[in-house]
Chains A and B, each alone.
Chain A
Amino acid sequence: MGSHTHTVTDSGENLHQVTGPSWRIRARRNSGLIVSLIVFTVVVVVNRVLQPNLFDRPVLRSNLTTFLPLVLASVGQTMVVLTGAIDLSIGGIVTLVNVATVALFGAMSGRTGMGAILLPVIVGVATGVAAGAVNGALVAYLRLQPLIATFATNFIWMGLALYVLPTPGGSVPDGLCRVYRGYFIGVPNSAWFIVLTFLIWYLVRRRKLGRYLYAIGGSENSAYASGINVSAVRLTSYALCGLFSGLSGIALTADIASGDPLVGGPLTLSSVTAAVIGGTRLSGGEGGAAGSIVGAMILGLARNIIFFANVPPFYQDFVYGLLVIGALAIAAASGVRRRSI
């Protein structure tokens, strides 16, 4: 959205200057993102203080490869939360994609070449999209309540994952791990992937679809009255969520280089928290995936901080859990006074 100026002639033959939104309006619109960037900076500084080698290349890479799955999952969650709904089955979808991909790698062991890597990856991502589409159909067309419906489907995905791979194991081709952990012109690939994710989000937002996500979240009735096909857009939001969950599953697979039927559990709550930290409101209509990406990285760094602050090992989960609740509480309390017309 550049600030170019156009001139427009109206029916009264008057000339008008048409400019883009002022910086003040843009700041307010992206206030969530700006706050999260500030918090991000603070967290990075604290982390650096506690862990002096934070910016060393290997450490940076290791951090980013760990963060990327949550980053992708959070973007997926944002798609749905923007419409005022939620997806509690993201953890299950990521797990399912992980084990499905690993199982396929297993089936293809012995074969080499790009195909042997690419096919399972594509199937994995497609699994994610399919699961998302099922969620979407239940919510948009059967009109089930999103929270409990996805809560239920989460068990279906986790159960299927457990069926495909009862115990952690399996292996992942070297090629995939090398790509995931590699570097390109000196920058870790995972960083490039994060940049790519920003770009994809930017593209989605610039399309009609992106705008309709916000419209439905802001006021479903107004969106409907304006001729938007609300059901179709909702289904698409869940399918997109499934897509990003699928990508997250692939990233996770490449990161842990194996399959684990319990791996995705914590991702659901973290993806919601990342979105909320990033400025996306649970009530819908405000925020964006850019903030969620930052939010996901904040959560990742927070875990680092807890570790390097020498919090006793068994307290770490507890402290992290308090953080999550704290973030949710703050987001809710700084609540929506401005919403109503």
Chain B
Amino acid sequence: MRSPLSTCTNIGTGNVRRMFANPVALAYLLAVALFMLGQVLSPGFMSAAQILNVLRVASFLGIVAAGQTLVILAGGEGIDLSVGSIMSLAAVMTAHITLARDAFLLHALAAVILIGLALGAISGLGIACLRIPPLVMTLGMASVVQGLTLVYTQGQPRGRSAPLLNKIVVEPWFLGIPGILIIWLLLAIAVSVLLERTSYGRRLYAVGSNRVAAALSGVNVQRTVVTAYALSGMFAALAGYLFVGYTTTVFLDIGGDYVLRSVAAVVVGGTSLAGGIGTYAGSVAGSVVLTVLDAILTTLRMGAAGREVVHGIVLVLLLVAYGRQRKLRQ
């Protein structure tokens, strides 16, 4: 039955659009404000070294958030809950393949990128073609990938990161800026180009803002959506690969924290959960905001428990501000 009595339940953008006037700037301001708050709570928080440290930690979240941004932009209540487990799988695969040998770094990179693309594409197919709700599909995928990780490692993650990867990620390339930040910057440029300067980017925005109008303009909606999820898997895998360069040893659930925080980062950055509006620049700011928030919580000696509660509350508050649905009575 077509929507009788003409009320619909899209996520309303109503007067929220005023807030979107410049949400990216808002997010950057928020990051700065949080830094200052940290300085107040714990002098030395805003030192150059500490800022660099925070940014370094934020870069992994930022890379995962790149994929999450694409998926959420694609609309249809899009979200990718499998990024955490894909990240974990990629990390153990990297350690396993390289086994501290530099020569195998490229092999590992190729492997994890392919795996990431494939897993993401499977999610995308289930969502675009079988109409499985994204939340449920990617949640199921996360479970499968977790199982896959267990199979791959036989319960014992082995291997260590190759020294070269460590060097690339952790050590400064120039001006004292760690490699990972340069990588993140390059990635940010690439994603922004993808979104602003390619036909894929335009189609993604079209599909996210109005699926029907996009289809009636000749856009292949299914292909666009599947690609978004495939790329999300790829970015998650990339993040896992680089993370191994950062921590040198791996454990089974590296990516656990990254799922909710990547969603929150994207929303803080001004991307609408309904799709069609948003930028990666905003997600970059959002990643920094969330990482600073975590740093502050650590300073306040809040344990893992408190952090989880805070993350949950932050997301709820973001939803209340940015994501409410239309009322039943018009």
Contacts and interface: CB of A to CB of B under 8 A. Distances in A.
A and B touch in the complex (CB under 8 A): yes
Contact of B5 (A221, A272, A324): A221
Contact of A144 (B135, B141, B148, B325): B325
Contacts of A162: 303-305, 308
A3 B133 CA distance: 39
Contact of B151 (A154, A224, A315): A315
B248 to A, nearest CB: 24
Contacts of A145: 11, 77, 273, 319, 323, 325
B140 A144 contact: no
Contact of B3 (A155, A221, A282): A221
Contacts of A166: 303, 305
A38 B46 CA distance: 64
A266 B143 contact: yes
Contact of B147 (A151, A319, A329): A319
Interface string A214-232: 0000011110110000110
A329 B132 contact: yes
B4 A222 contact: yes
A159 interface: yes
A156 B154 contact: no
Nearest to A155: B312
Contacts of A269: 139-140, 143
B328 interface: yes
B312 A156 contact: yes
B306 A159 contact: yes
Most chain B Cβ neighbours within 10 Å, of A282, A313, A325: A325
B82 to A, nearest CB: 11
Contacts, number: 177
Contacts of B310: 159
Chain B interface main SS type: helix
B215 to A, nearest CB: 19
A333 interface: yes
Contact of A325 (B7, B81, B144, B319): B144
Contacts of A266: 143
B305 A329 contact: no
Interface in B104-160: 126, 130-133, 135-137, 139-141, 143-148, 150-151, 153-155
Interface in B278-330: 303-313, 315-316, 319-320, 323-329
A313 to B, nearest CB: 8
B309 A230 contact: no
Interface residues of B, number: 58
A57 to B, nearest CB: 32
Contacts of B190: none
B9 interface: yes
Given A154-B312, A155-B311, A142 B324 contact: yes
A251 interface: no
A184 interface: no
Contact of B9 (A163, A220, A282): A220
A23 interface: no
Contact of B315 (A86, A148, A325): A148
A317 interface: yes
A329 B5 contact: no
B316 A152 contact: yes
A340 interface: yes
B2 interface: yes
A147 B315 CA distance: 12
A147 B309 contact: no
Contacts of A317: 143, 146-147, 150-151
Interface in A310-330: 313-322, 324-325, 328-329
Given A156-B312, A325-B144, A143 B260 contact: no
Interface string A99-137: 000000000000000000000000000000000000000
Contacts of B140: 269, 273, 321, 324-325, 328
B21 interface: no
A149 interface: yes
Contacts of A153: 312, 316
A163 B309 contact: yes
Nearest to A222: B4
A340 B2 CA distance: 7
A125 to B, nearest CB: 22
A318 B135 contact: no
A341 interface: yes
A155 B150 contact: no
A142 B325 CA distance: 8
Most chain A Cβ neighbours within 10 Å, of B130, B133, B305, B320: B305
Contacts of B320: 142, 144
Contacts of B305: 159-163, 166
Contact of B131 (A318, A322, A335): A335
A332 interface: yes
A318 to B, nearest CB: 3
A332 B309 contact: no
Nearest to B316: A152
Given A142-B324, A156-B309, A225 B5 contact: yes
Contacts of A322: 144, 147
10 contacts: A86-B135, A148-B323, A155-B311, A155-B312, A156-B316, A221-B7, A314-B153, A315-B150, A321-B146, A321-B147
Q: Nearest 10 A-B pairs (CB), nearest first? A: A318-B147, A159-B308, A155-B312, A159-B309, A162-B305, A156-B312, A321-B144, A317-B147, A341-B1, A163-B305
